[in-house]
Amino acid sequence: MKKYTLKREIQIQRFKNNPLLEPDQSHAWMSKNVFNCGVIIDDDGFYKMLFRGSWTEDQSMSDLGLAISVNGKKWYVLDKPVLKCGFNKFCTYGIDDPRIVKWIDGWKYIFAAIRPYKKEYRTVGIFRTKNFLEYEWVGMPFNFEDVDASIFPEPINGWAYLLHRKAPHIWISRTKDMSLESGWQDIQILINKDQFYRHPEHGVLPDKIGIAGPPIRTPKGWLLITHAVHRWDKKITRYSFLLNRSYSLSFVVLDLENPTKVLYVHPKPILWPEERHEIVGLIPNVVFSCATVDTGGDSLYIYWGGADTVICGGKLMKKDLPMCY
């Protein structure tokens, strides 16, 4: 992996109007939290956001709502959810953490965490839509615990590649089936959690890692925003578990022609919980992202859930990424 001499610290610049979305007591389905959204610039030029809205204290029940924006910063939210738990027998207990990719067939594919057959663990469920109001079920790539998933937005040498997280590492798989319904194979670890950065204060390696938004094609490689979970107190009580861990965001770069080859792992976080709405909320000290959007200009927009309670956003300047641009 190549090392780069950086002229400045790489950081996501938060939008001034954060949080972008907050819980709404007038709508029961999003009364407790709104968080962990997927975002895409649709064919009509509007930003479309699918976000997780929950009405239970433990987040076990959540629907996906739709928000629309002209500029990616100010959002209009539809009153009712567009993709609801109970959609089919695989989604009885919620649809979580959507990531959106426009695929070669023109459909927008949604990769979400679901609980099939009322099982305790979550796995990846794939949906697709053309208008963000009507949805079709595609399937489950795997029948084991697996989350934080997205395909690359185009086939690579005749293969569709899927990034996902079998705890505690980031994995990659592929299929020749461009319908994404079957044929997933060559399941392997892409990045081991111990390749990531240590917590800047406590010095511990992450407990687990995962992807944030879908990978972005750049001139020098696939840019993949990632998250890491550091825990510095191994006590088993829920209270100590929540207070003594934190989520952060960083990134890696993968080879354009062989995405199983890691070109660069950034050695520091580029976003850390610092604002009150990222530190204080249902789950403290969380910045969890499912959305990376190339605006077509000089920056990428990143969206994240703050403390599992609100939705925030910011931008990452392309000029600060010499390993990509």
Residue 7 counted as domain residue? no
In percent, the amount of the chain with pLDDT more than 70 equals 96
Cβ-based burial of 76 (10 A; exposed 0-12, middle 13-18, buried ≥19): exposed
pLDDT of 239: 56
Lowest mean pLDDT of 76-85, 109-118, 230-239, name the range.
230-239
Whether residue 149 has pLDDT greater than 80: yes
pLDDT of 120: 77
Average pLDDT for the chain = 94
Pairing assessment for the beta strands 208-211 and 216-218 based on DSSP bridges: unpaired
> What end-to-end distance do the CA atoms of the chain give, in Å?
17
Residue 113 counted as domain residue? yes
Rounded mean pLDDT, 139-158: 96
Asked whether 76 and 67 are in contact (CB, 8 A), the reply is: yes
Residue 64 counted as domain residue? yes
∠81-118-25 over CA atoms, to 5°?
30
Residue 8 counted as domain residue? no
What is the CATH classification number for the domain harbouring 81?
A: 2.115.10.20
Asked whether 286 and 277 are in contact (CB, 8 A), the reply is: no
Residue 2 counted as domain residue? no
What b/e readout covers 137-159, taking b as 16+ CB neighbours within 10 angstroms?
Answer: ebebbbeeebbbbbbbbebbeeb
Taking the C-alpha atoms of residue 314 and residue 304, their distance in angstroms, rounded to an integer, is: 9
pLDDT of 198: 96
For residue 47, give every residue at least 6 positions away whose Cβ sits within 8 Å of its Cβ, in sequence order, or none. 39, 40, 41, 68, 69, 70, 71, 72, 75, 293
Whether residue 5 has pLDDT greater than 70: no
Residue 322 counted as domain residue? no
pLDDT of 67: 98
**Phi, psi (deg, nearest 5) at residue 276:** -60, -40
Residue 50 counted as domain residue? yes
Residue 245 counted as domain residue? yes
pLDDT 10s digits, 191-232: 999 999 999 888 999 999 999 999 999 999 999 999 999 998
CA distances to 76, 158, 209 from 252, in Å: 32, 23, 12
Whether residue 235 has pLDDT greater than 70: no
Domain of 131?
Answer: 18-316
Asked whether 304 and 288 are in contact (CB, 8 A), the reply is: yes
Asked whether 311 and 298 are in contact (CB, 8 A), the reply is: no
Domain count, the chain: 1
